[in-house]
Amino acid sequence: MNDLLAAMNLAYNTTLKARARYELAQKGQGSILPVPCDAVRLWHAIGAAWLLQSNNRFWVGIHCADYPKGLLELKDPPLILFGEGQRELLRARGVAMVGSRNATRTGLGTAQGFAQAFAQAGWGVVSGLAEGIDGAAHAGALQAKGATIAVLGCGPDEVYPKHHAGLKNQIIQQGGLVLSEYPPGTAPQPAFFPRRNRIIAALADALLVVEAALRSGSLITARVASELGRPVAAIPGSIHSSQSKGCHAMIKKGALLVETAQELLDEALASLPEYKISCMLQEDDIPCNEDLNCHDDTDTEMDESLARVLSSLGHDPLHVDTLADQLGLNTEDTLAALTELELLGQVLSESGGRWVRANGVF
């Protein structure tokens, strides 16, 4: 039996319960496995064909030398991983970033800005390629020409959501990594995504939640990271926003409240494993104390009426009608001013006719 078939047989043989497969894995490569079932042979054929299509594709089993050591800390580590991209990132230092799929424009900008700062400081950004915060985190790392790892809840040849196919390809082309514990040909399923989250938490050296509701899958990822001893941080938001309540609950329970990327990196460096200290993405650490709050662009001339509208708008979303009443203006004039301010990068439009100050990321 060749190595790939043996590894897939250990990971996917449905004639064995999951606990039995993990017990066999702990015994080492010399363990006697049952004969591969038909499903394993089919997955092996599909997986082998997928691997041959590109030199950039690989697999790594739990007994391989370069299997990520952080994953071994899990109670149920993936027994095999399929990857496409830079294999060396399996051992690189990184920060996981997760959050709401239904993120606000402010949240998306914050995620992108923090990811850029992490990447510029030589840290990989680990996330799940999902809608919302995940996508913004990957995009921010790529914009900074940094490394990012996307952990999928489907096979490595699939993509979810479908419109992130371009983002997935960009990650691979720019030296990032796409990773999955599921064999090629596996379609996304709801049960796969919570399991995907444990890999995100264990692969990284710290975790940041940008926006999350109280019943968010991101909180599961944060709990796993905390159980593994990883530094866990959250971005606070408006007390009126449902997308901030999960982050606030985390902070109340002891998560680090961060305002700059360097705050979390300092925590991550303090607990970084020795084998990762020698696997830095860059030789020198670049401090990333960028203030991600809104700053007025001093190079942009703004007339008095626009400045008045901007000064009345805060970082909590405000409906255009409410803002108009506060300013004593009609809705049409207020909306025109907001639109002009949006073109200047000073404000962002939210759903339901609400507006908020930009945070300086875009």
CATH number at residue 339: 1.10.10.10
Average predicted confidence (pLDDT) for the chain: 88
Q: Are residues 321 and 213 in the same domain?
A: no
- Nearest CA to 83 among 101, 66, 63? 66
In a domain, 284, yes or no: no
What residues make up the domain containing 41?
A: 1-53
Last residue of one domain, picked from the residues 53, 74, 97: 53
Is the same domain home to 178 and 250? yes
Three-state secondary structure call for residue 266: helix
The pLDDT confidence band at residue 236, using thresholds 50, 70 and 90, is very high
Boundary residue ending a domain (38, 53, 68): 53
Flag whether 65 is in a domain.
no
Is residue 201 domain-shared with residue 94, that is, in the same domain? yes
pLDDT for 279: 56
**pLDDT for 44-99, tens place per residue?**
999 999 999 999 999 999 999 999 999 999 999 999 999 999 999 999 999 999 99
Residues 114 and 242 in one domain: yes
Residue 158's pLDDT is 97
Q: What stretches of the chain show up as alpha helix (H) in DSSP? A: 3-12, 18-27, 38-52, 105-120, 133-143, 165-173, 192-203, 217-227, 245-252, 261-270, 274-277, 304-311, 320-327, 331-343
224 and 182 belong to one structural domain: yes
In the structure, what pLDDT confidence band is assigned to residue 359 with cuts at 50, 70 and 90? low
Q: Are residues 339 and 203 in the same domain?
A: no
Same structural domain, 41 and 143:
no
pTM for the model: 0.80
pLDDT tens for each residue of 261-307: 999 999 999 999 888 866 554 444 444 444 444 333 333 456 888 88
Both 266 and 187 in one domain: the answer is yes
Q: Are 154 and 182 in contact (CB under 8 A)?
A: yes
156 and 217 part of one domain: yes
Q: Which of 98, 147, 90, 140 is nearest to 124 (CA)?
A: 147
Q: Is residue 324 domain-shared with residue 194, that is, in the same domain?
A: no
**Does 239 share its domain with 336?**
no
292 lies in some domain: no
Both 309 and 273 in one domain: the answer is: no
Please give the average per-residue pLDDT across 243-257, as a whole number: 95
